[in-house]
A and B are shown apart, each in its own frame.
Chain A
């Protein structure tokens, strides 16, 4: 199956700083999603982005499918951005996604 690697595994930022999270995958995909899991365990879908670039407020994402990676940018980070960010990918017509192991982000005052 597809392998998904996320980096860095852990990240500590001061409030207001910017960051870039990376997701590498081992094979062609036609489905890629980014999620944020808050400290209470709730997972929120941030982006559905199998290719191209999208922006939503302070967050943006870019997927370069031909080079098998995706980037999640967080600008002007806030303490509420803390949590774990997951990338998940899928291929073909299969309706299941494979998740990476996540990047744990802590934003401090």
Chain B
């Protein structure tokens, strides 16, 4: 099936530990994104990438890091520098449209991170 796979779905972490969330897509999309969602809130952009080996900071990049070594993969590391990492993390991908940047955004099922 074509789609976006995020893992793990649930993750518990102790304070001071780095964790890496996986995001893989087989839609052949150029662009990939990481969003954070807090309870009752909208989505905020962490990082995005339009091409392999290149990525840009979003609105809340502090305390996070990413890599884009393959077109299909865009892992997110939540570092110990992130002050409040407990949240729902959503990965998305899209084809790029000339003139408007992104086309339709498709999301994975999300990863819920809880810091104990």
| Residues of A near any B CB (own CB < 8 A) | 1, 30-31, 33, 35, 40-45, 48, 50, 86, 88, 90, 92-102
**B103: which A residues are within 8 A, CB to CB?**
48
**Segment with Cβ contacts to A, from B11-19, B39-47, B69-77:** B39-47
Contact present for A99 and B101 (CB under 8 Å): no
CB distance from B96 to the nearest CB of A (A): 6
Name the prevailing secondary structure of the B interface residues.
strand
**A40: which B residues are within 8 A, CB to CB?**
109
**B88: which A residues are within 8 A, CB to CB?**
41
Contact present for B43 and A42 (CB under 8 Å): no
**A31: which B residues are within 8 A, CB to CB?**
97, 100-102
CB distance from B92 to the nearest CB of A (A): 8
B103 to chain A: closest residue by CB: A48
Per the 8 Å Cβ criterion, residues 26-73 of B in contact with A are: 31, 33, 35, 37, 41-45, 48, 50, 56, 58-59
Contact present for A33 and B100 (CB under 8 Å): no
User: When the two chains form the complex, which single residue of B58, B99, B109 contacts A93, counting CB atoms closer than 8 Å?
Assistant: B99
